[in-house]
């Protein structure tokens, strides 16, 4: 097997003097959809923030596409092809859909490449094309989440980290977002997803990690973990 696109090794990190991660390790290979699940406080979002440089690990390292990016600033991480969609549907509410998407391509100076990126995003999320002149703040929560994901795609990233993409959405949009994750994988994107909706996250994942109290608890193929009696008992309400 080829080397992983992303390898996080033994991450110890947290906030102030309090560690949330106690040696978390993750690997993602090109073309995979990898899910990260676990209870509240397990360290899932903290792991993503440490990988993209919002937090600096006290121990451990992050390797991306063959380079050590441990503690690199988030803007420099993005330039290397690692995109991050934080939880909370963060958009620029007073800007139009098109302006939001163009903001996602701020590191791209070639207008032709920006136009090509827009077409890719519009093909994946047709509603964004229909509403390109609409202010983002007037859209529904599900539409704003699609916009946040579309904005991350504007740089044609090698890997996209999505933190709780279905959080707080109406059921129809939850289904749509998971369908779009699968569609993105089939289109060639590499994805890693933190999700509270554990059953759905495992169902679409090639591989998955279960974190608990800042440590790796389980890992394996998504469908295998979905049917694991211990995982069901502890995390899926089974």
pLDDT band at 108 (very low <50, low <70, confident <90, very high): confident
Q: Which two tokens stand for residue 97?
A: 């859909």
Q: Which two tokens stand for residue 104?
A: 């996602």
Q: What is the pLDDT of residues 23-65, one digit of tens each?
A: 999 999 999 999 999 998 999 999 999 999 999 999 999 999 9
Q: Is 89 left (phi over 0), alpha (psi -120 to 50) or beta?
A: left
The pTM of this model reads 0.92
Cβ neighbours for 30, distance < 8 A, ≥ 6 positions apart: 2, 5, 158, 190
| pLDDT the model gives residue 184 | 95
pLDDT band at 107 (very low <50, low <70, confident <90, very high): confident
Q: Is 214 left (phi over 0), alpha (psi -120 to 50) or beta?
A: left
Domains of the chain with bracketed CATH: 1-81+159-238 (3.40.50.300), 92-156 (no CATH)
- For residue 82, pLDDT over 70 is answered with yes
What string of DSSP letters covers 106-166?
TT---HHHHHHHHHHHHHH-HHHHHTTTSBGGGS-HHHHHHHHHHHHHTT--SEEEEESTT
Residue 137 and residue 167 in contact, taking contact as beta carbons nearer than 8 Å: no
| pLDDT the model gives residue 125 | 95
Biggest distance spanned by C-alpha atoms of the chain: 52
Q: Which residues of 2-26 are buried (b: 16+ CB within 10 A; e: fewer)?
A: eebbbbbbebbbbeeeebbbbebbb
Q: Could you give the CA distance from residue 88 to residue 160 in angstroms, rounded to a whole number?
A: 16
Cite the DSSP H helix spans in 28-86: 44-51, 74-79
Q: What is the pLDDT of residues 182-202, one digit of tens each?
A: 999 999 999 999 999 999 999
């Amino acid at each position: 097997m080829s080397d992983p696109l992303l390898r996080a090794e033994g991450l110890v990190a947290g906030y102030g003097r309090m560690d949330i991660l106690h040696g978390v390790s993750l690997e993602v290979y090109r073309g995979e959809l990898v899910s990260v699940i676990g209870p509240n406080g397990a360290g899932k979002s903290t792991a993503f923030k440490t990988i993209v440089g919002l937090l600096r690990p006290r121990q451990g390292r992050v390797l991306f596409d063959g380079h050590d990016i441990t503690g690199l600033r988030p803007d420099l991480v993005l330039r290397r092809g690692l995109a991050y969609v934080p939880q909370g549907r963060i958009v620029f509410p007073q800007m139009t859909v098109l302006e939001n998407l163009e903001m996602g391509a701020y590191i791209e100076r070639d207008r032709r490449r920006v136009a090509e990126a827009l077409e890719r995003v519009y093909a994946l999320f047709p509603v964004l094309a229909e509403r390109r002149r609409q202010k983002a703040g007037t859209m529904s929560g599900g539409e704003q989440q699609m916009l946040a994901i579309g904005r991350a795609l504007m740089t044609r990233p090698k890997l996209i980290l999505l933190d709780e993409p279905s959080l707080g959405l109406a059921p129809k949009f939850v289904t749509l977002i998971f369908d779009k994750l699968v569609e993105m994988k089939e289109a060639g994107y590499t994805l890693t997803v933190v999700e509270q909706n554990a059953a759905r996250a495992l169902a679409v994942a090639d591989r998955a990690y279960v974190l608990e109290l800042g440590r790796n608890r389980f890992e394996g193929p998504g469908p295998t973990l979905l049917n694991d009696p211990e995982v069901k008992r502890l995390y899926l309400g089974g």
